[in-house]
Structure 1
C-alpha cells in the first residue's frame, strides 16, 4: 500500500481496504477462493473483532450474516441497519471463510491478524471495542486464563473494551452455566454500545 504523509486516515483507509480485499496469502489453504470480509469506515465508533466469516458471510461478503449475527445484534440491542452502518467496523481474526473441522467452522488462520489488524485499527478511532470469542480474546487479551475470566473481568465495570462469548448456538451451554452474562454483563455492554452510538466525538482507544 502506498500512502502519503499528508493523507488523513479517511484518505488511507479505502486504499487499505482495497489491499485487504485483494489479499491472497491463504489461497492454497482455503476450501473456497479467498474473499476477505472486512467493513470499516473512518466514522466507526464501535469495532467488532470476531472469529472468521462463516459460509453465509463468505457467500454474501457481509460479516455476521447468519443466525450468530442475529443473536449478536440482539445482545447489543441494535438493528440490522445500525449494525451494518458506518458506525460499526467489522474486523475478524481471519478475513476469509476457513472451512470446517469436526463439524464446526475451522479455527481462523493465524496469518490475518498480524498482517492486517494493526494497519486498520491505527486508522480508526473507536469509542468501544468488542472482542467476540476466544480467538480474539487470546490474541488481544492473553493475560486472562480463560474466555470466562476475560468476560467477567472486562464486564465488571464500564469499559472501552469488552470480551463476549461467540454467539453461536454451540455456546448455549456456556450461557446456561453463566447466567450472570445475561443478567449483568449484557446490560452493561448494551449501555456502552448506546453511549458509543450517541457520542459526537469518540476518544482514542
Structure 2
C-alpha cells in the first residue's frame, strides 16, 4: 500500500525517479535529485520554477545569487528562509531539468507537477504564497505574461504575490520597472513579516535602504 500521510510525502518525492530517462538524454545527462524543502504547516509558500545546476549540486533551494536576491526582496535572513516548518519552497519541478544542446535551461517537465502538485498543495495551508516566475504564475493564476501579472499584484488578494524570477538575467527588467522596488517590495516585506510575526523564533532582518 502506498503511504499517503503528509509527513511521508517529502520522503516519497525525494525518492522519485520518474524523469530518469528524460534527464539522461539532456546535455547534462544527470540523474534525478529532487530538492524537497517543505513540511506540512509552513505558513509561507514560495513557488519557483525548478532547481538550477548549483541547487542540484547543493541539495538546497536558492543556494545561488538568485537566492540572495530573493531573500533581500523578502527581508529574510538565511536561518528563517530555510526553516522548513515555517517556509515551504515548492517549485513546479523538484529536479534540475538539465540544459539543452545550446546550454540553456530546459523548462520544468510537466510530469512532475502532474504527479505531485495536488498532493503537496493539499498538505499545505499557507497564509502567504509567493509565485516566482512565469511557470508558477501560469499554473496557479492562469496568467501568461509576467510583467503584466506582477504589475497587478494587488489584484490577487492578501494571500498571493506574483514576483519575477530573481535571476541576474532580470536585472534589466528591474531597472525598467522601478515600481517593483518602490511599491511592490515594501508591500512584500510587510506581508512576509506579518505572516511570520507571531512565531517566536522569527529572525526577520531589516530591509536594505
> Normalization by structure 1: what TM-score?
0.88
Runs of 4 or more off by more than 3 Å in structure 1? 101-104, 155-158
1:92 corresponds in structure 2 to 91
Instruction: Name whichever of 117-126 and 96-105 sits farther off.
Output: 96-105
**Kindly tell me: are residues 105 and 127 of structure 1, through their superposed partners in 2, closer, same or farther at Cα, counting changes over 3 Å?**
same
In structure 2, C-alpha distance between the alignment counterparts of 1:165 and 1:127, rounded to whole Å: 20
Tell me which of 27, 35, 38 is aligned to 1:37. Answer: 35
1:203 corresponds in structure 2 to none
Instruction: Name whichever of 67-76 and 152-161 sits farther off.
Output: 152-161
Give the 3-state SS of the residue equivalent to 2:166 in structure 1: coil
Matched, 1:16 2:9: yes
Cα offset, 1:25, TM superposition: 0.9
Cα offset, 1:13, TM superposition: 2.2
Structure 1 stretches lacking a partner, 5+ long: 4-11, 201-205
Asked whether the 8 Å contact 2:134–2:144 carries over to 1, the reply is: no
Cα offset, 1:158, TM superposition: 5.8
Asked whether the 8 Å contact 1:26–1:34 carries over to 2, the reply is: yes
Superposed CA deviations along residues 81-135 of structure 1, whole A, max 9, x for unmatched, are 1000021001111111111244432211111112111101111111000110011
Tell me which of 50, 53, 56 is aligned to 1:52. Answer: 50
Structure 2 stretches lacking a partner, 5+ long: 24-28, 200-209
In structure 2, C-alpha distance between the alignment counterparts of 1:71 and 1:18, rounded to whole Å: 29
Give the 3-state SS of the residue equivalent to 2:110 in structure 1: coil
Name the Cα RMSD after superposition: 1.6
The alignment covers a number of residue pairs equal to 191
Asked whether the 8 Å contact 1:158–1:192 carries over to 2, the reply is: no
